[in-house]
Structure 1
């Protein structure tokens, strides 16, 4: 099922929908060729990939989903949907299965997309061709990394709900603080926030923050621990890391964890760029991603 998306800057893609667990999941499907699957984070949606997709779609089939509760997907209440990491991974698995892909996947992940995508990838390493990692994690919070005060505030009972769902502080804060080279254009910032225009529509933004696993007893920690323990299954797959070094959450503590686990990864650092590294460094990073996909042999490399 497809339809025309609403108009936002540089987002002129046809919308597609899949039914996942009784909810409509929105996704983009552009181009033909080997699949490139893009997985966004929070507070974000497929708009994040709007410049990468046209740079690849002449040679690749670009697929990008909006997680349930995000972007143009359905935004169910807690009664109708379990906003947990395990459910996100199950949704991703169901969506991939419905696409009937026959070739290995080039997986591109950012923010929560790293945890969701890599949780799936370690379960299906034979289905991965290459990985592109952009300011994300797929393992517990590094021991040396303090929890940023912004996340602590958003997780505070009652106050967090007021800020995140009532005042849209998390979404509005992201468009201001997640780019560092230059302020985000106002129309682009409005597009990022457009799907999250009410208390009800900001439920996933808040639930993602609440679901960040920080302690051993947190409900999503088992998935994170299992994924971290299984990342070695991907260590011979080609990987490109694009990293904005001014990210206040996914900072050098996370980058070093990736490099310890994947010392052969192709690394591109951007010292003046923030969490939304594709916004800040797109003109430099996107051609490097294209070159990586075009020239790096897919699949498992020999030691």
Structure 2
């Protein structure tokens, strides 16, 4: 199946019997791009095209997402801990072990920060795009959309009607509505009840209170974020994100006041779609200024 702007050769590695798909384009220093939910490596297509003439761009599809295998609960735990383990195994497979630039968005931030805070010596630069690396800020409530997706009828909405994916391609862009072909490409991997399992499990796996699966790991990552101080950091932020909003941004800036910040008041969660023409050149420039 062809997807607009996504003309990359497919690559696969096997992790515990499951195939993980990834993009591997270009040569040079490694830039690792981690997507969130409901998303896949397609989100980074334009950034890869911009950087691949000077950098090696590595972009995985998390298990259950994109072109990777979509196992049932009997074969995969769909936990944050396992996502981080997958990331380590995949990077080792790719031979990407040092001088890494991480570009993270949404759930990719929590997964990436878990890795970065464990191995800060491997990280050269950080680019944060509407994401988190800590618990829900105390000033932030749980958005109704997430509450609904986590409710007893969430499975029917998310997996039966694809409401989370279809809703995202409409509500997560507030400046530049997606062309139908692009919106369809975002949703294409999630074309059945079975294939939407990861979309639902990601929402269910958000740890909100002590005792929730993953809560202690998030606490550990939050406490280790100071290990990343001194690493060049850029933040690209869409202010109209209904989840990763000003509460999350304030938390990042309180921890990393020297981060280079680019805010877009009229843009939403899918910031690389909404502000593509501005933000992608700025990311390129940021990498160049921190060689």
Stretch of structure 1 that moved more, 61-70 or 179-188: 179-188
Residue 181 of structure 2 corresponds to which residue in structure 1? 187
Which residue of 217, 241, 244 maps to 1:247?
241
Residue 235 of structure 1 corresponds to which residue in structure 2? 229
Q: Does 1:260 align with 2:254?
A: yes
Quick check: 2:239–2:267 contact (8 Å CA) kept in 1?
yes
CA distance in 2, matches of 1:168, 1:189: 13
**Runs of 5+ in structure 2 lacking a partner?**
none
Q: Does 1:110 align with 2:118?
A: no
Instruction: Give TM-score, length-normalised by structure 2.
Output: 0.99
CA distance in 2, matches of 1:202, 1:216: 27
* Matches for 1:6-21 after TM superposition, within 5 Å: 6-21=1-16
After superposition, give the CA deviation of every residue in 1:231-282 in whole Å (9 maximum; x if it has no partner). 0000110000000000000000000000001000000000000000000001
Deviation at 1:101, TM superposition (A): 2.4
Residue 49 of structure 1 corresponds to which residue in structure 2? 44
After superposition, give the CA deviation of every residue in 1:46-91 in whole Å (9 maximum; x if it has no partner). 0000100010001000000000000000000000000100000000
Stretch of structure 1 that moved more, 95-104 or 258-267: 95-104
Residue 82 of structure 2 corresponds to which residue in structure 1? 87
After superposition, give the CA deviation of every residue in 1:206-248 in whole Å (9 maximum; x if it has no partner). 0000001111111111111000000000011000000000000
Residue 202 of structure 2 corresponds to which residue in structure 1? 208
Quick check: 2:176–2:273 contact (8 Å CA) kept in 1?
no
* Matches for 1:268-287 after TM superposition, within 5 Å: 268-287=262-281
- Residue-pair matches, total: 291
CA distance in 1, matches of 2:213, 2:32: 27
CA distance in 1, matches of 2:229, 2:46: 28
**Runs of 5+ in structure 1 lacking a partner?**
1-5, 298-303
Which residue of 120, 124, 136 maps to 1:125?
120
Deviation at 1:173, TM superposition (A): 0.3
Deviation at 1:197, TM superposition (A): 0.1
Residue 173 of structure 1 corresponds to which residue in structure 2? 167
Q: Does 1:219 align with 2:213?
A: yes
Q: Does 1:289 align with 2:276?
A: no
SS at match of 2:10: strand
CA distance in 2, matches of 1:194, 1:223: 32
Deviation at 1:102, TM superposition (A): 5.2
Deviating 4+ runs (over 3 angstroms): none
CA distance in 1, matches of 2:93, 2:121: 18
Residue 3 of structure 1 corresponds to which residue in structure 2? none
Quick check: 1:9–1:187 contact (8 Å CA) kept in 2?
yes
CA distance in 1, matches of 2:144, 2:73: 26
RMSD: 0.7
CA distance in 1, matches of 2:173, 2:210: 32
SS at match of 2:249: helix
Quick check: 2:91–2:97 contact (8 Å CA) kept in 1?
no
Q: Structure 1 residues 97 and 169 mapped into 2: Cα distance closer, same or farther (>3 Å)? A: same
